[in-house]
Amino acid sequence: MHVLASILGFILAIGLLVAVHEWGHFWVARRLGVKVLRFSIGFGRPLKTWRRGETEYVIASLPLGGYVKMLDGREGPVEPDEVHRAFDRQSVGKRAAIVAAGPVANLVFAVIAYALMYMLGITGLAPILDAPAAGTPAAQAGLRGEAEVLAVNGHPVRTFDALRIAVLDAATGGQPIQLRVREQGGERMVELPGASYGLLKGTEDPLARLGLRPWEPRGNIIVRQVEEGAAAALAGLRVNDVVTGVGGMPVSRASELVEVIRQHPGERVELDILRDGQSLRVSMILGMRRFNSEMVGYAGAAFSVDISDETWARLRVVERLGVLEAVQAGLSRTWDMSVLTLRFMGKMLTGQASLETISGPLGIADVAGKSLVLGLSNFLAFLALVSLSLAILNLLPVPVLDGGHLLFYLIEALLGRPLSNEAQMFAQRIGMSLLLALMALALFNDLTRLFF
């Protein structure tokens, strides 16, 4: 089921975002008088082709990109009466506007998607903290379980997702992390050394390294899903079984159970369960999977804690805004995520952030499927983030990307003439090599995360 959702989510997301990007180029080119010969979504063999006016529209078989083909004297002869409509005969400013329109369209789409998300309402976890692990900065600061974060560096936060973004923003900006928290004794300020803690190195969750984890109430651990053919299924574990202990020790938190499983790859683990009011013991030999360069145990089952309606109401936050407020929030979220993305890229270039966080098509498909299953608001949030990432990536000053072309036009404007064809072709080869290396790294990370 998840595989089908991933495929569908990936095709929907990439197809839509590529269409938005190419439409930006197309719309501005048409408005500036440039003749557009073809508008293609995807590459390879055409699946559907139609013509409207002077433009051919194509949906192709490989949905990993697209292009807008314009009349251009560098690609073939141009009729004398249409020379003024050729892309290469336009001023530097017009060419730059056409090239920049693709990334700008992705940025505008991100604002719209975030605004729609807020209008529909997005459900998240309240920023209530679990008891921090010993030795973490949060533990050293004296934070206790069920402390609620009200603000980060003076900015109010309503959800754990907002807390995460604010903490990462402070960490990438080299700032200390100041939390205003509400505890049983009242409110107080807590400062954590995020900038000096190397939060972005490695693949471990940066917030977990600080000791900031979402509150997990105790209760009955229910088996929600069992993967066919995995260790749990082979041992006879069933959906709706209640796990009361592991290895003879009582458990009341799903994270505690999962951690025991992770620590015993390939070993036998015994679970105490309740099934239809009867106590049973299930013995399973765990499978193994690679996670963050180490082998961990794998049961092939999903667990969650059965909590009361009152506790669930305390944990659950729904953000729903009116139209004007949603647009403002969409603009703010797009700006915050853009700054965070650029800072993170800078940290990766200087070796202060792990390259293992880069995702490729498989990773995108995996998240697309999960967000699609969770509902429209979550899928919109995913679309907005990917659209924003596409805009920033395309604006990088790397030849073959839109930002590389903009760099060429800037040099042309400064010199009063374009770079020679030889210089441009050399730069294009370097840019293509960098892009292929990035794609190879992203695909390697995907395969490592998903299959090893």
List, for residues 314-351, the tens digit of each pLDDT value: 888 888 999 999 999 999 999 988 988 888 787 777 76
pLDDT reported for residue 13: 84
423 vs 204, higher pLDDT: 423
pLDDT reported for residue 50: 93
Residue 362's closest CA among 2, 10, 84, 5? 10
| 123-142 mean pLDDT | 87
Residue numbers of the domain that contains 243: 220-306
The β-bridge partners of 178 are: 191
The string of pLDDT tens digits covering residues 187-201 is 888 888 754 456 666
Tell whether 91 is covered by a domain: no
Residues 282 and 312 both lie in one domain: no
Side-chain half-sphere exposure of 231, counting CA atoms within 13 A: 24
Number of domains in the chain: 2
Tell whether 228 is covered by a domain: yes
Residues 302 and 313 both lie in one domain: no
**Last residue in a domain, options 272, 306, 340:** 306
The string of pLDDT tens digits covering residues 269-299 is 888 888 888 888 888 888 887 666 678 888 8
Indicate the pLDDT class of residue 446, thresholds 50, 70 and 90.
low
Candidate from 37-46, 371-380, 389-398 with smallest mean pLDDT: 371-380
**Last residue in a domain, options 265, 283, 306:** 306
SS3 for 410? helix
Rounded to the nearest 10 degrees, the angle between the axes of helix 160-172 and helix 323-349 is 40
Residues 275 and 130 both lie in one domain: no
Residues 291 and 239 both lie in one domain: yes
Residues 193 and 167 both lie in one domain: yes
Tell whether 297 is covered by a domain: yes
pLDDT reported for residue 197: 53
Residues 227 and 211 both lie in one domain: no
SS3 for 69? strand
The string of pLDDT tens digits covering residues 140-166 is 888 888 889 999 998 899 988 888 888
Share of the chain above pLDDT 90, in %: 25
Q: Provide the mean pLDDT of the chain.
A: 85
Tell whether 35 is covered by a domain: no
**Cβ neighbours of residue 215 under 8 Å, at least 6 residues apart?**
126, 128, 129, 130, 145, 146, 315
Tell whether 267 is covered by a domain: yes
Number of Cβ within a 10 Å radius of residue 298:
20
pLDDT reported for residue 452: 54
Catalytic residue ranges = 22
- For the ranges 32-41, 64-73, 167-176, 430-439, the maximum mean pLDDT occurs at 32-41
Share of the chain above pLDDT 70, in %: 89
The string of pLDDT tens digits covering residues 101-119 is 999 999 999 999 999 999 9
Residues 191 and 241 both lie in one domain: no
Q: Are 266 and 288 in contact (CB under 8 A)?
A: yes
Residues 313 and 188 both lie in one domain: yes
Residues 210 and 141 both lie in one domain: yes
Residues 155 and 197 both lie in one domain: yes
**Last residue in a domain, options 255, 282, 306:** 306
CATH for 284: 2.30.42.10
Indicate the pLDDT class of residue 310, thresholds 50, 70 and 90.
confident
- For the ranges 22-26, 74-78, 412-416, the maximum mean pLDDT occurs at 22-26
Residues 269 and 185 both lie in one domain: no
| 221-249 mean pLDDT | 87
Residues 185 and 265 both lie in one domain: no
